Chain A
């Protein structure tokens, strides 16, 4: 079952904040976040593990609510380099790793 991301697209000015959500209908053991720039491969940002702490990567952080089966990616004081498509990926049921099912993606555009 593919996780559902929202919103589908976000347009920001430099310095603004954004939140991208990822929800699943099945129990989650982890959530993986990736960013893909146009014409490039997806780049691993971070993984949120069940029972783990909120993670951070520069000014990008994420949370994982196991009960609600959802994760949120927070982009603070966005930079032009943050532009791209963000995907959340959820592993096969009962694992924290391995093959992933990806959400449909959220297109983030940051303008000067």
Chain B
């Protein structure tokens, strides 16, 4: 398995500002994903962040709004830019450890509230 930590665990931000969320994994992983979970909803994939390549964004998500960095195999950041109340969600990173078992593990999430 993989142990994943995220910072911050929660934050309250004003509209128009930006927040950078960090995701740290205790082992090297190739595949890392960022998801959004709006209150009471399912998980929606924002983007795939593989080391050494540009992040791949899903429909409805753009790089200008959610820039992602993946500087190495254990770390990634997601920035939520120019925030609005609609961005209030839980943001989770997940990894596939690449063991061949196809399991994915999630970080504890960052609970973001935009006022």
Q: Which residues of A contact B (CB under 8 A)?
A: 2, 30, 32, 34, 40-44, 47, 49, 87, 89, 91, 96-105
Cα–Cα, bound, A32→B108 (Å): 19
B45 x A105 contact (CB < 8 A): no
B104 x A32 contact (CB < 8 A): yes
Q: How many residues of B contact A (CB 8 A)?
A: 20
Q: Which residues of B contact A (CB under 8 A)?
A: 31, 33, 41-45, 48, 58, 92, 96, 101-109
Contact of B102 (CB < 8 Å), options: A2, A49, A87, A103: A49
Q: Offer 20 A-B interface pairs, CB within 8 angstroms, sorted by A.
A: A30-B102, A32-B102, A32-B103, A32-B104, A34-B106, A41-B106, A41-B107, A41-B109, A42-B43, A42-B92, A43-B106, A47-B103, A87-B43, A97-B102, A98-B31, A100-B33, A100-B45, A100-B104, A101-B45, A105-B42
Chain B residues contacting A105 (CB-CB under 8 Å) are 41-42
Cα–Cα, bound, A44→B44 (Å): 16
Secondary structure at the A interface, as helix, strand, loop or mixed, is strand
Nearest residue (CB) in B for A97 is B102
B42 x A103 contact (CB < 8 A): yes
Chain A residues contacting B44 (CB-CB under 8 Å) are 102
Chain A residues contacting B107 (CB-CB under 8 Å) are 41
